[in-house]
């Protein structure tokens, strides 16, 4: 990514001299701790995303310059990342010493004993405990990567919320404001309800058409054959209507269907899905093939007036003028919500959107656990976080928010870091389902049929609820 690359160039140029500084002033520790592992090469696999590219291009070279331990980070597509990591851990081949663990897959990995207990590993090897590393430095997002024993099985490396981005230049234009007021009878402002969001989408779509502009009303992460669309609906759209945890009630025999006490095919779920599908008529033509990556690209290209965009893309969209056409023209807001959803989130009974992120885990099959643990400690220090947070808007350590570089970047991002810090508790990660991938795969084909129009919303969600329950029965969760 261009924004990460720009920072990487300068950071790499200073890698040798900066290594000690980024080690928190404990250069002697790192050199001594690494002595037994000279000549070792660690291998990791992760998604090609801004935070991961920063690890590959900045942190890994700094660590090697400091310790002599080589770190090769393989960045690939989301699906290939999981495929390679899982196959390695299943076969026990030990190819990878670090694997990216997305928040939503951690429970499946723990159930299959794929990961090393890093808390215990460091406790058992005091010579590896870095002075600048402390689990207490992490935000509460780290709790998603803890096992039942409270120990960490992954070192957080990215955490961000999926936010409502809007074009401040369009929303603040006096002529556009007047036209919107004339068309709708209300002032133009970021939507707080779904009806307002649709109204804004329709207005800007028509405005773009009337003025022969490459401008549409909203982004839609609506790929008709990729899990990104399934995730957008279940993790970003359905909760804003009050449908949580995919509509599965884990406390009621894992019911998914309304008939059995679930909510996957409830009237509210059907309303949420229909609302989202209807937005496609106001969205750019690439929306039907858009994953999380293309949604960011669409917004950065100035092709949408508003959209739900993963926070990891907010940095380059708002500040990288080599890649984004809307630098200085981006505002952030909370997603539109149905009545009662905010109150439920504030009470801890629901959530308003997706708190995404991931960690680097140490596979149980790694042949270099101790050396890998040193690298995981290195990327978990407070000292390495500020430049990383500027390069790719992600925060895993509480101290990061107060760093002057991050404070300055917060202004460029329209207050995104403030929102993450102050409103992050209103968002939630994926539910703690060890059957995450199985249920997604069981229901996704039907979901895609809804998107392509081969099934209507009501019939499709009814089928999906039945498919989810059949899968959960087969897996032994429904009795």
Q: For residue range 131-182, what is the model confidence (pLDDT) as tens digits?
A: 999 999 999 999 999 999 999 999 999 999 999 999 999 999 999 999 999 9
Does residue 270 contact residue 278 with C-beta atoms inside 8 Å?
no
Set out the domains of the chain in order of their start, with CATH numbers.
2-160+354-417 (3.40.190.10), 163-346 (3.40.190.10)
- Rounded to 5°, angle at Cα 225 from 224 and 227: 105
Across residues 103-127, what is the average pLDDT?
95
Q: Is 9 a residue whose pLDDT tops 60?
A: no
Q: What is the CA radius of gyration of the chain?
A: 23
Does residue 384 contact residue 107 with C-beta atoms inside 8 Å?
no
DSSP code for 367: S
Q: For residue range 414-425, what is the model confidence (pLDDT) as tens digits?
A: 899 999 999 999
d(C-alpha 254, C-alpha 315), whole Å? 39
Res 12: pLDDT: 38
pLDDT class of 49 with cuts at 50, 70, 90: confident
Res 88: pLDDT: 96
3-state SS of 95-164 is CCCEEEEECCCHHHHHHCCCECCHHHHHHHCHHHCCCCCCHHHECHHHHHHECCCCCECCEEEEEEEEEE
Q: Is 261 a residue whose pLDDT tops 80?
A: yes
| pLDDT > 90 in the chain, percent | 87
For the chain, give the mean pLDDT: 93
Res 10: pLDDT: 41
| pLDDT > 70 in the chain, percent | 95
Beta bridge partners of 92: none
């Amino acid at each position: 990514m261009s924004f990460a690359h720009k920072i990487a160039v300068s950071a790499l140029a200073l890698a040798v001299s900066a290594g000690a500084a980024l080690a928190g002033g404990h250069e002697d520790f790192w050199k001594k701790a690494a002595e037994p592992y000279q000549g070792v090469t660690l291998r990791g696999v992760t998604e090609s995303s801004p935070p991961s590219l920063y690890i590959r291009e900045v942190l890994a070279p700094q660590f090697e310059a400091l310790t002599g331990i080589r770190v090769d980070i393989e960045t690939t597509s989301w699906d290939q990342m999981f495929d390679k990591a899982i196959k390695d851990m299943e076969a026990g081949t030990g190819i990878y010493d670090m694997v990216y663990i997305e928040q939503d897959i951690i429970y499946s990995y723990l159930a299959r004993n794929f990961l090393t207990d890093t808390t215990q590993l460091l406790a058992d090897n005091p010579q590896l405990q870095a002075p600048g590393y402390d689990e207490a430095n992490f935000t509460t997002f780290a709790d998603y990567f803890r096992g039942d024993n409270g120990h960490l099985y992954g070192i957080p490396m990215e955490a961000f919320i999926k936010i409502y981005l809007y074009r401040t230049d369009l929303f603040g234009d006096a002529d556009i404001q007047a036209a919107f007021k004339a068309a709708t009878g209300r002032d133009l402002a970021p939507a707080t309800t779904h009806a307002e969001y649709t109204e804004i989408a329709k207005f800007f779509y028509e405005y773009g058409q009337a003025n022969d502009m490459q401008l549409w009303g909203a982004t839609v992460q609506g790929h008709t054959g990729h899990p990104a669309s399934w995730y957008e609906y279940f993790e970003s759209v359905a909760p804003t209507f009050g449908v949580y945890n995919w509509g599965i009630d884990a406390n009621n025999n894992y019911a998914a269907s309304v008939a059995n006490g679930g909510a996957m095919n409830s009237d509210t779920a059907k309303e949420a899905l229909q609302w989202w599908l209807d937005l496609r008529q106001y969205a750019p033509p690439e929306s039907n093939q858009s994953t999380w990556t293309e949604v960011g690209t669409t917004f950065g290209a100035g092709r949408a007036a508003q959209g739900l965009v993963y926070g990891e893309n907010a940095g380059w969209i708002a500040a990288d003028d080599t890649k984004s056409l809307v630098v200085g023209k981006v505002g952030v807001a909370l997603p539109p919500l149905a009545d009662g959803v905010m109150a439920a989130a504030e009470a801890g009974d629901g959530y308003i959107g997706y708190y995404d992120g991931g960690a680097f885990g140490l596979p149980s099959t790694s042949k270099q656990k101790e050396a890998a643990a040193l690298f995981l400690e290195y990327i978990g220090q407070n000292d390495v976080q500020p430049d990383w947070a500027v390069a790719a808007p992600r925060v895993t350590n509480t101290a990061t928010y107060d760093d002057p570089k991050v404070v300055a970047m917060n202004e460029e991002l329209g207050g995104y870091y403030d929102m993450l810090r102050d409103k992050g508790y209103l968002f939630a990660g994926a539910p703690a389902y060890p059957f995450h991938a199985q249920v997604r795969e069981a229901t996704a084909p039907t979901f895609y049929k809804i998107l392509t129009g081969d099934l209507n919303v009501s019939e499709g969600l009814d089928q999906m609820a039945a498919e989810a329950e059949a899968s959960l029965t087969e897996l032994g969760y429904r009795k």
